[in-house]
Amino acid sequence: MRSNYYFIGFLLLGISVFAKGNVYVQSTKAKLLSQPKLNAEGLGLKVGEVLTPIQEQGLFVQVRVEEKTGWVSKLFVSPLPPGNQMKLGITSNSSEAVVARQRASDFTKTAAARGLSETQKMRVRGEGDLYDFESLRWLESVPLTIDTRNTKPERNKQLETIVTSNADLKGDLFVLGETKAEVKLGRSLAARLLKRYPLVRDLELTRYLNSIATKLGAVSSRKDLEFRVGVIESSEINAFSCPGGYLFLTTGSLKKIQTEAELAGIIAHEMGHVILFHNGEFTESNVWIDILSGLLTPPGSEVVNTAMATAIGEMEKQFFETGRDAKVELEADEAAVGLVSQVGYSPLGLSSYLNAMSKAEGTELLKKTHPETNIRIAKLVFAEQSVSTDGAPLVVDRWSEYKIRIAK
């Protein structure tokens, strides 16, 4: 029966998904660079273009396209082919789902004839003691927009171009099965976090944070995801990244942030884990198994099957005990610098925040699960020197308007 569950293939540490096959250009920001530096000279690449990897160096992949060779940032390419965006909270009414329901019905009859032994193996967990899907659905209901009030008027046109540049390429694409599986797992992990930490349901603050994430996501390779940022009530200084684009910042962290550039740096670091596939690979689930699991779940509940629960437990252990590998944390730091600089934020934001946090209280968990802060800052200095904000929208800092909401 386990062959019918979600298979979540986690890569061995140090092995990158970008080295396994072709990669696909997903952002208009992608260039074939002369050196592995974002501010190096380069030729523009088209969204959807197929590149053949040769080798990797940090955040960059050396690739071959036609007769040319150069470097490209992992922020703007993906090992997944172009796919449409996963719209959260939408139930499929496709013919595929109808067929799956029939197959699920047939399966339950067969299982019943076997004394329900097979069905019992598919027992699911949903809302209750372990998960808070109700709070997660509130977060998913918050409209996603890019607030152009925090960019200089003369640069708003540039930002609109970034956001809409791929619209004409998305019309005939399906949501990738890998994306569906990633979001399915990520939702459950997010709901588990929200059971541990209460969600702060401040609509205006949440919309503001999500506008920053949407702006950052618009220049990245993961246009198949809706990035969501939630605020959780905790005095701990920390942030969390779940597969599928669910990100969480503690109120303790937000109280320490001084500028919007720092805020964007933290959000971009957590996004970096998702964009760079630090959670591993995900393979498409069997649709009819989803539906069967739903039939076994009380009305109003959501499904977390046994295999998913096991994977969630391992990810929780990373959050609170072991942490991720130091290599991927440093790579996410570098990714943050690259992302924020593309949309006009100072690349110094994350290092400024980390420098302040090195002297702050309430950082025990953060330090336990991340590399030493002085190492992170030293690495960030090199990353900051390799980017440029030339031509990016000019950002107006609005964080002071929202920070006061955390103190209420």
Minimum mean pLDDT range among 51-55, 142-146, 293-297, 380-384: 293-297
Q: Which two tokens stand for residue 256?
A: 């320490």
Check whether 148 has a pLDDT greater than 90.
no
Check whether 209 has a pLDDT greater than 90.
yes
Mean pLDDT of the chain: 81
Judging by beta carbons within 10 Å of its beta carbon (0-12, 13-18, 19+), is residue 175 exposed, middle or buried? middle
Buried/exposed 7-18: b ≥16 CB within 10 Å, e otherwise: bbeeeeeeebbb
Mean pLDDT along residues 137-156: 74
Contact 384, 351 (CB under 8 A): yes
Q: Which amino acid is at 154?
A: E
Check whether 109 has a pLDDT greater than 80.
no
Contacts of 223 (CB under 8 A, 6+ apart): 26, 27, 85, 166, 170, 217
d(CA 210, CA 208) in angstroms, rounded, equals: 5
Higher pLDDT, 302 or 267: 267
- Confidence band of 284 (pLDDT split at 50, 70, 90): low
Mean pLDDT along residues 337-352: 96
pTM of the model: 0.84
pLDDT of 231-242, one tens digit each? Answer: 999 999 999 999
Minimum mean pLDDT range among 3-12, 300-309, 316-325: 3-12
Please report the pLDDT score of residue 358 as a whole number.
Answer: 86
- Confidence band of 7 (pLDDT split at 50, 70, 90): very low
Sign of CA dihedral 69, 75, 81, 83: negative
d(CA 100, CA 110) in angstroms, rounded, equals: 15
Please report the pLDDT score of residue 399 as a whole number.
Answer: 96
Please report the pLDDT score of residue 2 as a whole number.
Answer: 40
Check whether 189 has a pLDDT greater than 60.
yes
Mean pLDDT along residues 340-368: 91
Indicate the pairing of strand 42-44 with strand 23-25.
unpaired
Domains of the chain, residue spans: 21-78, 133-282+301-406
Check whether 45 has a pLDDT greater than 50.
yes
Please report the pLDDT score of residue 385 as a whole number.
Answer: 92
Higher pLDDT, 359 or 196: 196
Mean pLDDT along residues 109-120: 50
Higher pLDDT, 119 or 355: 355
Please report the pLDDT score of residue 5 as a whole number.
Answer: 39
How wide is the angle at C-alpha 219 spanned by C-alphas 217 and 224, nearest 5°? Answer: 50
Please report the pLDDT score of residue 59 as a whole number.
Answer: 93
- Confidence band of 173 (pLDDT split at 50, 70, 90): confident
Please report the pLDDT score of residue 113 as a whole number.
Answer: 55
* H-helix or E-strand spanning residue 244: none
Q: Which of 1.20.1260.10, 3.40.50.300, 2.30.30.40, 3.30.70.260 would CATH assign to domain 21-78?
A: 2.30.30.40
Secondary structure of residue 57 in the 3-state scheme: strand
Contact 101, 288 (CB under 8 A): yes
Please report the pLDDT score of residue 11 as a whole number.
Answer: 35
Please report the pLDDT score of residue 312 as a whole number.
Answer: 87
Mean pLDDT along residues 388-401: 86
Secondary structure of residue 92 in the 3-state scheme: coil
Contact 240, 308 (CB under 8 A): no
Contact 72, 51 (CB under 8 A): yes
d(CA 15, CA 313) in angstroms, rounded, equals: 22
d(CA 58, CA 134) in angstroms, rounded, equals: 39
Please report the pLDDT score of residue 12 as a whole number.
Answer: 34
Indicate the pairing of strand 31-33 with strand 23-25.
unpaired
Please report the pLDDT score of residue 166 as a whole number.
Answer: 47
Contact 37, 45 (CB under 8 A): no
Q: Which two tokens stand for residue 246?
A: 């669910």
Mean pLDDT along residues 390-406: 88
Please report the pLDDT score of residue 347 as a whole number.
Answer: 96
Check whether 122 has a pLDDT greater than 50.
no
Q: Which two tokens stand for residue 311?
A: 């994977």
Q: How far is CA 355 from CA 160, 164, 374, 380, 396, in A?
A: 34, 36, 8, 11, 23
Mean pLDDT along residues 194-213: 97
Buried/exposed 127-165: b ≥16 CB within 10 Å, e otherwise: beeebbbebbebbbebeeebebebbeeebeebbeebbeb
Select the highest-mean-pLDDT range: 4-18, 73-87, 126-140, 147-161.
73-87
Mean pLDDT along residues 217-236: 95
